[in-house]
Amino acid sequence: MTRTSLQCRECKKEYETAFKYVCDDCFGPLDVKYDFPTLTKDTFSNRQHTYWRYFELLPIENKSNIVNIGAGMTPLTKAENLGKKLGLNNLYIKNDSVNPTFSFKDRPAGVAISKAKELGLTAVGCASTGNLASATAAHAAAAGLPCHVFAPSNIEMAKITQALSYGANYIAVDGTYDDANRIAAQIGDSKGIGIVNINMRSHYVEGSKTFSYEVAEQLDWTVPDQLIVPVGSGAMLNAICKGFEELQTVSLLDDVSNMHMIAAQPHGCAPIVDAFKKNTKEVIPVENPDTVAKSLAIGDPGDGRYVLKRLEQYNGFAEECNNQEILDAILLLAQTEGIFTEPAGGVSISILQKMVEQGKIDKNDKVVCYVTGNGLKATESIMQVLTKPTVYKPNINEISAVVQ
């Protein structure tokens, strides 16, 4: 007997767990369905400080298949200084910039690669805007599996360097993320490679649910009022909702229906925001994304339609911000809270500001803003809004004059 099965999100047909991600009948995406054991808050309290502490809520049958590089259980920082600036009394930053590969992608990649091992796959890979490349490559290295990464050639050098260092076969595609994604899908299927965010997607998204489990536990098993989530493909936002719903199912949380989901996208690649503002269910792909938030440059979001559903279900909003606003927000977070994020995190902070300005967040709301990647991965972009330091001769008088 296995603890999990797969179920079509559309027609609800069930399947035994396998290397499979779309429904045979309606081509809908398959989600993992669980037979949950009885859980209490104490179940987790004395466990390891990684997201594997929530093993019972993750789709791995046998613990020996877990590929654990220490990801998760990242800080949920009460942002007193930024909160004061914005007029918020209960603002929290979920800081995933400090994961082992410096982004939240260690969550979905770690679960997908553990599952790939469990299913007996002999190679893995991903289509990536940069962060997933490193997360997949690092976990593949730890699992001893070859890793094939498909990514646009114009992403940040730090992300390329990092993935190459873990030993990945890095395929830089002269095109958009959607081009890389299409090629990865075809090669993955024809060669039997577990592409974590494509043919392993059912299991991949399960990893991002741990963003909800940790936040709930860190908030002493309460539900936030407002959640601000940066959106590329939309997989993470959808998974965060699923995670909170599962905690309600296992009676670890009370009613989660009053939380508000806010989708944050960069101007230049905001197809979900466009659909939300036009009040349509159809997400029209952006052909050539153009934004400083390269990790969110996904023109044709795989889970776009489901994000719109989630926003409706959770009385949410979708909003966008431009490059200048993103870079300013990075500095605002760094200079108030000491947290250095990449542009995707800047998008979250900028949209947080906008939501406050638009009166969509009350000053006493419990707000969780997801900061999903590290600023050190995008220093070329962030330098655009900083002044290059002047170089001085090691002369005490000269230097003393500029230290006031």
Ligand X SMILES: Cc1ncc(COP(=O)(O)O)c(C=O)c1O
Which residues of the chain form contacts with ligand X (CB under 6 A)? 103, 105, 129, 131-132, 230-236, 295-296, 298, 344, 372-373
Q: Say how far apart CA 382 and CA 327 lie, in whole Å.
A: 6
Q: Say how far apart CA 399 and CA 257 lie, in whole Å.
A: 58
* Coil, helix or strand at residue 6: strand
Look up residue 108 and give its two tokens: 């979905």
The letter for the amino acid at 93 is I
Nearest approach in angstroms of CB 233 to ligand X is 3
Query: Of the two residues 252 and 355, which places its CB atom closer to ligand X in the complex?
Result: 355
Q: Say how far apart CA 188 and CA 183 lie, in whole Å.
A: 8
Query: Of the two residues 131 and 212, which places its CB atom closer to ligand X in the complex?
Result: 131
Nearest approach in angstroms of CB 350 to ligand X is 14
Query: Of the two residues 252 and 382, which places its CB atom closer to ligand X in the complex?
Result: 382
* Coil, helix or strand at residue 401: helix
Query: Of the two residues 295 and 323, which places its CB atom closer to ligand X in the complex?
Result: 295
How far out from the chain centre does Cα 153 lie? 21
Binding flag, residue 25, Zn ion (CB under 5 A)? yes
Q: Using CB distances below 5 to 8 A depending on partner kind, what does residue 372 bind out of Zn ion, ligand X, none?
A: ligand X
Nearest approach in angstroms of CB 37 to ligand X is 28
Query: Of the two residues 54 and 211, which places its CB atom closer to ligand X in the complex?
Result: 211
Nearest approach in angstroms of CB 15 to Zn ion is 10
Query: Of the two residues 103 and 218, which places its CB atom closer to ligand X in the complex?
Result: 103
Q: Say how far apart CA 148 and CA 133 lie, in whole Å.
A: 9
User: β-strands 147-152, 226-230: how paired?
Assistant: unpaired
Q: Kindly tell me which residue out of 4, 6, 7, 8 binds Zn ion, with binding defined by CB under 5 A.
A: 8
* Count of other CB atoms within 10 angstroms of residue 396: 7
Nearest approach in angstroms of CB 303 to ligand X is 7
Q: Say how far apart CA 111 and CA 61 lie, in whole Å.
A: 12
CA-to-CA separations, 73 to 93, 239, 341, in angstroms, rounded: 13, 17, 18
Query: Of the two residues 355 and 378, which places its CB atom closer to ligand X in the complex?
Result: 378
Stretch binding Zn ion (CB under 5 A), from 7-15, 53-61, 186-194, 286-294: 7-15
User: β-strands 317-321, 14-16: how paired?
Assistant: unpaired
Nearest approach in angstroms of CB 377 to ligand X is 8
φ, ψ of residue 127 in degrees (nearest 5):
-105, 135
Binding flag, residue 175, Zn ion (CB under 5 A)? no
Q: Using CB distances below 5 to 8 A depending on partner kind, what does residue 132 bind out of ligand X, Zn ion, none?
A: ligand X
Nearest approach in angstroms of CB 205 to Zn ion is 17
Contact 309, 276 (CB under 8 A): no
Q: What is the contact surface with Zn ion in residues (CB under 5 A)?
A: 8, 10-11, 13, 23, 25-26, 28
